[in-house]
Amino acid sequence: MNGEPSPPLSAKDSGIQSISRASAVLDAVAECSRTGARLNDVTKATELNRATVHRILNALVRTGLLERAEQEPLYFVGIRVMALAAASARRFGLAERYAGACARIAARSGDTVFLQALSGRESVCLSRTEGSFPIKALTLELGERRPLGIGAGGLAILASLDEAERQSVLNADAGRHRDFNITRAQIEDGVHRTRTDGYALDANTVIQGITGVSVPLNGKAPEAIGALTVAAISDRLQGAHLASVIEDLGNEVARIGLEPPAFDLPAPSSRRADATGGRLAVTRR
């Protein structure tokens, strides 16, 4: 009845609530993985009261899931989270399965290669392999999570979802997308281009001066289980070099044995591709 206090939580329900709150706090800190999160940032993101957030932050620091900067009150994701992410990657086998592919692409292109996996409505970075080019595009940290549609990898995964699921993701994460200064119209345009071209291209959107190109890892289902991405400075990842990287990504996906994308992988100049011998060969003009 209105005005009556809510019944007290049982020990079981209280435990579940504590886990849920700790998870929300951990997610809020992860959103600020580069700059660090302040108490006020986490309080605002989780909509929990300040005292509760402060208590949870301290508990997560004690467990190693978070770390607190020494000089100022900033919180960062702890090294233990990376260990948990690595364990998860081993469970699904993606990191091991694609380790060779990432190394080969990085060696041939000279650029940075990222392996991302689908996790709920997010992409999570499972591995990062650096190439020899002296200017590195280190746009993702191991274990870093982003909403689907953000960055080339997140766009490649989002484009593989069916229409209903894709709209559900966009509706649920509208606020998070705005945090990256990306509109829904931009994401939907990127999805259309990805489904048409066969690869996702993000140029100067998430980070000015950086371009990423990605192909989805589809497994045995229509929706992607992850994405393989190459990132470099925008002046470098264009023209013939971009076409070569796109071809290499498609070939490596086919080589591993997962289903390649359900659409062609054309070079930017030709916008079409030929499939030969079980491998994707890009036709240039």
Domain extents in the chain: 11-77, 83-282
Question: What's the mean pLDDT when you consider all of the chain?
Answer: 80
The pLDDT of residue 220 is 54
Class of domain 83-282 (CATH, top level): alpha beta
d(CA 127, CA 68): 24
Q: Say if residues 36 and 46 touch (Cβ distance below 8 Å).
A: no
Q: Please check the confidence at residue 243 and state whether its pLDDT lies above 90.
A: yes
Prediction pTM value: 0.65
- Tens digit of each residue's pLDDT (9 = 90 or more) over 201-239: 999 888 889 999 999 887 655 677 889 999 999 999 999
The pLDDT of residue 238 is 92
- Tens digit of each residue's pLDDT (9 = 90 or more) over 21-54: 898 898 888 877 677 888 998 998 888 999 999 9
Q: Please check the confidence at residue 280 and state whether its pLDDT lies above 60.
A: no
The pLDDT of residue 159 is 92
Q: Please check the confidence at residue 89 and state whether its pLDDT lies above 60.
A: no
Q: Say if residues 117 and 94 touch (Cβ distance below 8 Å).
A: yes
What is the number of other CB atoms lying within 10 angstroms of the CB of residue 90? 12
Of 109 and 69, the one with more pLDDT: 109
Class of domain 11-77 (CATH, top level): mainly alpha
Q: Say if residues 215 and 261 touch (Cβ distance below 8 Å).
A: yes
> Computed from CA positions of residues 37, 64, 88, 95, in that sequence, does the dihedral angle turn out positive or negative?
positive
The pLDDT of residue 8 is 52
Answer whether 11-77 and 83-282 agree in fold.
no
